[in-house]
């Protein structure tokens, strides 16, 4: 599990130490303040560990740089250094519960394609982390991976990684039964089960009594739920995993947001460390209520808020959401309510 992330001069992120819970971690804030960046940074660092066949320092220096470039898509690695006049330097340190997986690196604003390893990991990661972007990816299966690997495409590599995970075989045996418990509310919301055609690799929604429906014909909100269901059924998000989900509420109606919130908490309760970035007050409140349930009262959780202050991005963090002062979402919701009452009475 990730314990802390120390960041200095990385993109717009504040220079700070992020302390994470082994269960659920929620990052809120306005657009452009770095919510997605912190998720992508941690994902990229973990993904290198999961894919590494050689933990040689020289190999890792290139591997980390390649992954950061592929995930963030800058013109050069140095473009990820916080913008300042003159030459700058970025440093980051990922501290894991297993110290052998901890790492630290740095690079300057003139760096092209290699980072400096300040602390090299000595152990790899057994299971790949999963990153879910704001859009669904099941309709890209299975053609996207060979296209990405054979042509220069301006898509971030998280898409390729996730499509690859979606194509993994489903579990069977005792772990399949454990996955079925998590899948049940998702399948109820979708009205069916996610299936993969063995010959073509295409995804379908199997509807009881109606046969298979091609995924492009399924509503986009349901396709996002299908991604989560598929990652559970393959075992990627069952035990000892990592889930990074950027704005899970995108393109979902409130009813489905409730289903997703419940699934996020249930996955985190299965020893999966979950990181969610959102600016949805509805999702935030759903998570709060779920975490107040006696089933999850012992689930570790951590709340983070990013806000613009005096031309910089500031970070607040706490185990209790009520301790977070900078909840712009709530301020805007209340301001809208005031405007609506004034308008209604006009």
| 1 Cβ neighbours under 8 A, 6+ residues apart | 20, 22, 96, 97, 273
Question: pLDDT tens digit string along 257-312?
Answer: 999 999 999 999 988 999 999 988 889 989 999 999 999 999 999 999 998 888 88
Question: pLDDT tens digit string along 50-105?
Answer: 998 888 999 999 999 999 999 999 999 999 999 775 678 999 999 999 999 999 99
Q: Which residues pair with 307 in a beta bridge?
A: 314
Residue 339 pLDDT class (50, 70, 90 cuts): confident
| 100 Cβ neighbours under 8 A, 6+ residues apart | 121, 122, 123
Of 166, 155, 230, 246, nearest to 201 (Cα)? 166
| 132 Cβ neighbours under 8 A, 6+ residues apart | 162, 224, 227, 228, 243, 244, 245, 246, 248
Q: At 93, is the secondary structure helix, strand, or coil?
A: strand
Query: Rounded distance, CA 230 to CA 245, Å?
Result: 14
Q: Which two tokens stand for residue 169?
A: 């075989």
Question: pLDDT tens digit string along 234-255?
Answer: 999 987 799 999 999 998 998 9
- pLDDT score recorded for residue 209: 87
Cα 284 → chain centroid: 16
Q: Where are the domains of the chain?
A: 1-23+30-129+290-346
User: Would the pTM count as exceeding 0.85?
Assistant: yes
Of 223, 318, 276, nearest to 36 (Cα)? 276
Q: At 230, is the secondary structure helix, strand, or coil?
A: helix
């Amino acid at each position: 599990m990730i314990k802390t992330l120390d960041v200095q001069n990385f993109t717009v992120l504040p220079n700070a130490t992020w302390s994470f819970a082994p269960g659920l971690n929620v990052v809120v804030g306005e657009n452009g303040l770095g919510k997605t960046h912190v998720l992508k940074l941690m994902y990229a660092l973990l993904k290198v560990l999961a894919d590494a066949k050689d933990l040689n320092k020289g190999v890792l220096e290139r591997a980390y740089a390649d992954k950061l470039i592929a995930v963030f898509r800058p013109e050069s690695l140095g473009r990820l250094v916080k913008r300042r006049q003159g030459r700058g330097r970025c440093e980051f340190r990922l501290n894991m519960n297993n110290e052998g997986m901890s790492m630290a690196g740095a690079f300057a604003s003139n760096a092209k394609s290699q980072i400096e390893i300040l602390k090299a990991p000595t152990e790899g990661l057994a299971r790949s982390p999963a990153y879910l972007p704001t859009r669904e990816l099941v309709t890209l299966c299975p053609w996207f991976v060979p296209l990405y690997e054979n042509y220069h495409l301006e898509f971030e590599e998280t898409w390729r990684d996730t499509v690859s995970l979606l194509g993994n075989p489903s579990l069977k045996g005792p772990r399949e039964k454990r996955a079925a418990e998590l899948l049940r509310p998702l399948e109820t919301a979708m009205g069916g089960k996610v299936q993969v055609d063995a010959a073509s690799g295409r995804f379908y929604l199997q509807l009881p009594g109606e046969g298979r429906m091609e995924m492009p014909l399924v509503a986009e909100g349901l396709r996002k739920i299908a991604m989560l269901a598929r990652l559970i059924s393959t075992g990627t998000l069952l035990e000892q995993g990592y889930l990074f989900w950027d704005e899970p509420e995108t393109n979902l109606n409130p009813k489905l947001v409730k289903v997703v919130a419940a699934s996020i908490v249930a996955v985190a309760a299965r020893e999966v460390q979950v990181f969610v970035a959102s600016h949805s007050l509805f999702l935030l409140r759903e998570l709060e209520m779920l975490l107040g349930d006696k089933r999850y009262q012992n689930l570790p959780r951590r709340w983070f808020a990013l806000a613009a202050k005096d031309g910089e991005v500031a970070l607040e963090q706490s185990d209790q959401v009520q301790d977070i002062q900078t909840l712009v979402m709530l301020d805007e919701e209340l301001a809208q309510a005031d405007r609506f009452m004034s308008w209604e009475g006009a």
